[in-house]
Structure 1
């Protein structure tokens, strides 16, 4: 089965080699098309009869592709560097005009040095009568010489056609090359997006498509994701079992503490209650990671306003300063706990909390600000680590056990959102939960 797939789905190396080979073949074909089917790069030469017409003042058929200068001179033109007098052609033009040979002079470009000593074959009279690139022809008149200077310009039509063909061929080659390259890189891009997921154990397995190399990497990634999910499940089950089993000895310890005197008993009972709260919080933390609750449409602004009213009734200084209407998809209890943990953290360390709900495009954000001391920039990224507390002491009066923000982050992640913290320039901390809007 795999060998059949490999034949139908070649490797990346094979695809790239095939793409390069196809591009080279098309480019060679395009060059041959331009070379053999296009017009010549220069206009066709001018012949001796046309030069005679120019001396008569008539328009030659090919003169439109040449630049012509006609003037009168007191003496016969002399050859410049790279020119020579062509006596044979001068005699022919004189015969066409019906004047003596001495009254006509033709100056043409000198042939290359390698061809000067090479005798021309008899059948090359037509080649002798062709004038290329530039020439000067003159005829003696009564008071001097009539001189016609001609030089051949570039064939703009040839260049226009050639450049148009090259641009068209480039576009025709670019489009399929882009399509093939996109098909080659699409599985790699999908693999990169899957690997960049913050919670890979919750992501869907990658489809095993594309070239053999990409399928092998995708299979390895899926195997790694499954192992991470199994490891986290085992860890969660172990911690839940330990936390659950600790409740029984703590309950027995509470009964035995009743036999102690009042002073030591109160301190011991406080320690037991702190242990029980820690166990309960740990269980809640592990349950939030399970993410098994059904999702419904939630009016986020109404939920936050209700939460703020409940906390205000309990004597906490909580206020909603902005409330854009936002509807999200999620678990009401979990989201209420997520935002409640942020508000309680702000009240605990800042004395008060201000909540703002804003909508930006397809996302809703809930910001909780306080006027507390803030958090050092070096440790702000650790606030959501389990059991980490920004306040150094472990006193229950100044803070919890370090799981409140971790629970809030788990809830935000499970809803496709993000939890972030930032110190305010005017002092205090800002905690923001960003959630996707319900469609």
Structure 2
């Protein structure tokens, strides 16, 4: 099994996603700990209830602002403290003074303060001897309490108050934490993207059909990524040198073969007519092979001037020229498609496809259409087609889907390879498919010039 073949069905996030996820998880854990510490205690800045506001409720006043939950009822006896509660006689006396009733006619029950926490008393309240004005009505009630007053000598009016959650504080706190999370995550994403950008460029460079033509990768990032980029650039340079040496060698060999073939042609003139014709045909075939080889090798190395051209003009003139030569070539549809490219190279690309259709299918039907930002040229023939398993090999150098090498079909299997090289040099592609009604469809796709 190939490495990683068992992981194809599983989600495999990129390094950028992993880094961002790690930072986000760390931030969430830190913020979660902050929330746990902050929300376990009482919310700060919860508005307490002043004694004067409590006395106002006893007299039928409106509920003061804040998160207080108030209820009242009548009873024939004063409320008694429950577990965790205690009577606050000092507070009851102050409320009695505000109401103008005897002290024994008021009862105040509050939560018992935690162990070690003193209850606010006169010693920590404003005192006149400190130059501070004392106002009993501004004493505060917090948490929960029960306040009862006996006004008719018999029944008690009981007021229960409980301080509810301070939702505004929770909302502000959560909003601040969410803002901190986003503000910290954005630079983390930027840093992670900077770290992984050289790796992405390396993957894009390695995925190119001809990496030796690509520009060297910019070196940056952490030391490990820089070392990988340097190694890739070195490998690309070695591949480029190897391809250049191989191309120069094959071009030199093919070029040098023309001289002995020319001498051989002169010597064949001395043969009788019958053997001479066959020998000259062999020499012509050798010359065609050498010419194809030279064209194939030079097509990937020579750079030509490019300009805006109308692809429909190339298709139509090419079809007319081949039709004048007696070939069954017809343009079924042609739309205006302006692209930037080399007119001679594109004519050779489409011409090789059309000649291949005529050679093996007997005819060619050419259709040029525009879809979105692409120009698509379809070349269809009426031949027998090719087996599906060899469709992907039709553009391989020296490969021929038609097994024979007679003079009727000719060629050495470089025509479609040259066409693919030209199409890819124009940022396009070539594909093949068998037609349902019979024959082969060759398609070249090229980007429009916008």
Q: 1:404 aligned to 412, 415, 430, which one?
A: 415
Counterpart position of 1:57: 60
Task: Indicate yes or no: 2:353 matched with 1:348.
Answer: no
Q: Tell me which of 22, 38, 44 is aligned to 1:41.
A: 44
Which stretch of the first structure deviates more once superposed, 230-239 or 92-101? 92-101
Deviations 1:127-176 (A, max 9, x none): 9x753222221222436221211111222332333234334333433443
Give me the whole-angstrom Cα distance separating, in 2, the residues matched to 1:153 and 1:70: 16
* 1:44 to 1:64, Cα distance in 2 relative to 1, 3 A: closer
* Gapped regions of structure 2 (runs ≥ 5): 1-18, 127-138
Cα shift at 1:43: 1.8
Task: Report the equivalent of 1:140.
Answer: 150
- TM-score scaled to structure 1, two decimals? 0.79
Inter-partner Cα distance in structure 2 for 1:211 and 1:86: 68
Distance 1:373 1:81, change over 3 A: farther
- What RMSD, in angstroms, separates the aligned Cα atoms of the two structures? 3.7
Counterpart for residue 131 of structure 1: 141
Counterpart mapping for 1:391-430 below 5 A? 391-430=402-441
Query: Taking structure 1 as reference, are residues 427 and 75 closer, same or farther at Cα in structure 2, changes over 3 Å only?
Result: farther
Paired residues, number: 407
**Cα separation, partners in 2 of 1:353 and 1:160, compared to 1, 3 Å:** same
8 Å CA contact 2:47, 2:66 repeated in 1: no
The answer for the alignment partner of 1:217 in structure 2 is: 228
For residues 420 and 356 of structure 2, the distance between their equivalents in structure 1, rounded to whole angstroms, comes to: 13
Matched residue, 1:70: 72
Once residues 111 and 352 of structure 2 are traced to their aligned partners in structure 1, the CA distance between those partners, rounded to angstroms, is 94
Deviations, residues 281-337 of structure 1 (Å, cap 9, x unaligned): 212222222223332332211111010111112222212122111222332222111
295, 320, 325: which one pairs with 2:336? Answer: 325
Residue aligned with 2:107, SS: strand
In 2, the alpha carbon distance for the partners of 1:426 and 1:163 equals 67
Q: 2:109–2:146: 8 Å Cα contact kept in structure 1?
A: yes
How far, CA to CA, are the matches of 1:416 and 1:255 in structure 2? 45
1:343 deviates by: 0.6
- Alignment partner, residue 10 of structure 2: none
Q: What is the match of residue 442 of structure 2? A: 431
SS in structure 1 at match of 2:156: strand
Q: What corresponds to 2:374 in structure 1? A: 363
Query: Hey, what does 1:11 align to over in structure 2?
Result: none
Q: Decide whether aligned partners of structure 1 residues 122 and 331 sit closer, same or farther in structure 2, where only a CA change above 3 A counts.
A: closer
For normalisation by structure 2, the TM-score amounts to: 0.77
Q: How does 1:264-303 map to 2 (within 5 A)?
A: 266-303=277-314
Aligned partner of residue 389 in structure 2, secondary structure: coil
SS at match of 2:408: coil
CA contact (8 A) 1:368 1:430 kept: yes
Helix, strand or coil for the counterpart of 1:43?
coil
Distance 1:44 1:436 in 2: 68
Once the two structures are superposed, residues 374-426 of structure 1 have per-residue CA deviations (whole angstroms, 9 ceiling, x without a partner) of 33332222111110011223333245211100111122222332222233344
State the partner residue of 1:9. none
Distance 1:381 1:141, change over 3 A: same
SS in 1 for 2:169: helix
In structure 2, relative to structure 1, the CA distance for the partners of 1:59 and 1:248 (3 Å cut) is: closer
Cα 1:308–1:292 change in 2 (3 A) is same
Residue 72 of structure 2 aligns to a residue in which SS?
strand
Preserved CA contact (<8 Å) 2:219 2:226: yes
141-150 vs 235-244, which deviates more?
A: 141-150
Q: Contact (CA 8 Å) 1:206, 1:218: kept in 2 or not?
A: yes
For 1:1-12, list aligned pairs within 5 A: none
CA distance in 2 between partners of 1:364 and 1:141 (Å): 96
| Change over 3 Å in CA distance of 1:265–1:399 after alignment to 2 | closer
Of stretches 169-178 and 353-362 in structure 1, the one that deviates more from structure 2 is 169-178
Stretches of structure 1 lacking an aligned partner (at least 5 in a row): 1-15
CA contact (8 A) 1:137 1:148 kept: yes
Q: Comparing 179-188 with 345-354, which one deviates more in the overlay?
A: 179-188
CA contact (8 A) 1:41 1:154 kept: no
Distance in 1 separating the partners of 2:89 and 2:307: 103
- Corresponding position of 1:109: 111
**8 Å CA contact retained: 1:329, 1:437:** yes
Cα distance, 1:261 vs structure 2: 6.0
**1: distance between equivalents of 2:331 and 2:316?**
7
2:70–2:161 Cα contact (<8 Å) kept: yes
Tell me, yes or no, if structure 1 residue 241 matches structure 2 residue 244. no
**What is residue 184 of structure 2 aligned with on the other side?**
173
Which residue does 1:162 correspond to in 2?
173
